[in-house]
Chain A
């Protein structure tokens, strides 16, 4: 195995050195190939997502295939513009000169995918890496084995197989990959593994992007208009159970609400859940399933804590045989319980009540920075307060999840939710080095740059640094000293 991977890196390095991945034609051809791959294998991808995670095709299109198509189309349209050198203004002192920032590929990059969105979290960063002109190793998650094998089977058929490779496998393979020297590592997953990736990257000074998660809170203000409330609740249900049944890094983790408002909220949540997914644990529809036994047990254990169990106000039933957990609402589980200290990453939704909705800011700030904060409110001063006083990867008002679809917004965490960002041009930048390029001519030569040093040169440099061009002229004409002495008198 080890030998194979050394070869993988060698081959990709050769491909990178051949310089063909730098041409705009190559980049566009690869992006087009991704679109073709999706078009011709859509059914296969839907099927794999169904088997790995029980995702409904509409959900699969919305969160996976559609997202990647949108990114690839956008990159195709913009890549040439992204690649163009950016002119940098030059101060007159350096005249004549020309400055530019040139984006160049980093080299051979490694992308680790997580299991919850095994297609989009694989291909979305790949689109960035291709747009920037890198060669790529993609390591899909072994916890979504069907999707992993769909990627491994299709990518070599559609994309340049000497420049973009899929390496399947588990921990041992990941560990071996991490021994090698990459020019960038892009990782989506948990903080625990994120730390391992960073430590491994440190040996080779490899820059890393970490897309992690965290407990993403939703602040729900007391909404007086009933139709607003209905929309808010639908969006909360959509943001909790919609994406992979709560197994999403930007999924809603818990809701903060004023005490008096909680009963209405719970009632409406129940109604929505029933309409969307049904009531009976055995016949739930339109919900992804828990990925595997390990995660089923993990989520189940969160519920087993007696104090937590006592706080369940809706759902709570569990089918061990089929690894199914009902959409579950909990009211005020103890704050020191695991469910309020770990990322839930499953179909449980705690509701925490506060006396005053403004206390939510304090509540959020006393915990690690989340990947996303959602706030439903029509109160502009509350919006401003949340914007100014909390910190998170992203902040969305009056909706959930949808910021993910905005190519013009950077997607990425801060603090415990990770660092680095992608989507749209940010993906391109993440996989590029911004090279500073300055061109000078031999024409103008300023003597004052060179030793031996004397007072005249000192004066000249002082003026140059202040961009005091008039002063420079006076100094050169020998008038400046005169004026200064006059002033002193």
Chain B
């Protein structure tokens, strides 16, 4: 079926008002939860086939996160849907005012290949919770997961309102030509620009969840072992670095380097063994294209002699071992683009405070991490660094919190999701003002006089005394 026909059908369903009911939303959220519960193995198998993602990682980062999001939405939905009463001003007295969330209509979710299950369904949960009809376009670069999603959603969901469209560039292009009420895109800035430009034609609002070079600043006054474990978990433990919030590079002082490196090597070996290419606890590189891209970063003349750990590659199995590079030049390829893989450069600065300047001189990342026990540095970091999210003394955990908005700023994207933020992203907040026929103020209407002018001034300024004076004609 072509894109146009699907949108037309979904518009029909949306127009019927079906998706707006609380019951429909709950039934669809429950169906999503069932998919995760009944087909966990099928899903983690697909993730293994697409990315060799270790089962536990697939479970924690994809299935579980999705289930948590679903359960939260089910639990909170009534509260989220409730109109919010707000104070009406004196100017419009007597009246009552409220903000009523309503669905936007028919929305498009374009998902990414690195967390192909979670990044597909997490936005779909928000869209359903808000009462929209949804088309999901999973990434063709994770074909097994894409086809599992298409199959299971077709089987469990109300297909008159929720559809999966599989495909690559031509299919996506056809989808982008349609008129949507919202587009939610996860991916890179290049495609993000294409999505925005396509949306402009129809005045469609867009959420862009992009990435960027997320830095980790490591101070010297810390427990290196814990810090390093948390960095490793966020870097190689997140799809082998192929995650938008993964640490991209480390900034630290020269004197910290030896201790940091030692701890890194030690813990890496504990986690992934002596031959990490053989470890079952690391994802592989998604495909040959990305393997080539990462190889190019490593083979760049400016960095070939900078590898201090790892560097092994197995092209046949698309594996690259956890690799650390020290003191790479700022103009090397690896420092110019988002790495999105198992390579971790370390940049050294004279004073740890200099790292703030280093980060600020670059595009705003999706995340920035700092390990320190210095409260002042922490404060300065929070005030000075602009990023989607900041996390002090850990990595990547900020995404697990539904009370924090997840989303970028500048080059790392726009709009936010998770928890209530997802619901809001897919809702229009309608301003509703209720007036009675009483309390009509003649000063609003012409013919205009000086007295009316004075009255209006007092009214708009909320000046009650002035109001009374104007009324009794002083």
Hey, which bits of chain A sit against chain B, CB under 8 A?
Answer: 56-59, 61-62, 66-67, 69-70, 73, 88-91, 94, 97, 99, 101-102, 104, 106-107, 183, 191, 194-195, 198-199, 201-203, 205, 207, 210, 212, 225, 227-228, 231-232, 234-235, 237-238, 242, 275-277, 285-286, 365, 378, 383, 387-389, 391-399, 402-403, 405-411, 414-416, 418-421, 433-442, 445, 449-453, 457-458, 461-462, 465
Contact = CB atoms under 8 A, between A and B. Distances in A.
Given A88-B403, A205-B413, A436-B405, A442 B222 contact: yes
Interface string B371-404: 0010000100010001111111110011011011
A442 B400 contact: no
Contacts of B56: 451, 453, 457-458, 461
Contacts of A406: 86, 88-89, 91-92, 97, 431, 433
A225 B414 CA distance: 50
Contacts of B311: none
B197 to A, nearest CB: 4
B200 A232 contact: no
The SS class assigned to the B binding surface is mixed
Contact of A101 (B54, B378, B404): B404
Interface in B426-449: 428-437, 440, 444-449
Contacts of B201: 195
* In the complex, the 4 A-B pairs of residues with the closest C-beta atoms, listed nearest first: A286-B446, A198-B200, A202-B196, A58-B448
A98 to B, nearest CB: 9
A238 B445 contact: yes
Contacts of A388: 20
Contact of B229 (A228, A399, A445): A445
Contact of B445 (A203, A227, A234, A419): A234
21 contacts: A58-B446, A58-B452, A59-B448, A70-B461, A107-B410, A195-B201, A394-B430, A397-B432, A397-B433, A402-B91, A402-B433, A403-B97, A409-B99, A434-B405, A437-B390, A437-B391, A438-B390, A442-B227, A450-B233, A453-B54, A453-B281
A435 B388 contact: yes
Contact of A205 (B88, B196, B226): B196
Interface of B: 15, 17, 20, 54-57, 59-60, 64-65, 67-68, 86-89, 91-92, 95, 97, 99-100, 102, 104-105, 181, 189, 192-193, 196-197, 199-201, 203, 205, 208, 210, 222-223, 226-227, 229, 232-233, 237, 271-273, 279, 281, 373, 378, 382, 386-394, 397-398, 400-401, 403-406, 409-411, 413-416, 428-437, 440, 444-449, 452-453, 456-457, 460-462
B462 A409 contact: no
Contact of A435 (B86, B197, B386, B430): B386
Contact of A438 (B197, B394, B445): B394
Nearest to A376: B437
Given A89-B403, A388-B20, A398 B409 contact: no
Given A99-B404, A414-B428, A438-B398, A201 B196 contact: yes
A212 to B, nearest CB: 8
Given A59-B448, A205-B413, A461-B56, A397 B92 contact: no
B102 A391 contact: yes
B47 to A, nearest CB: 14
A238 B196 CA distance: 39
Contacts of B457: 61, 66
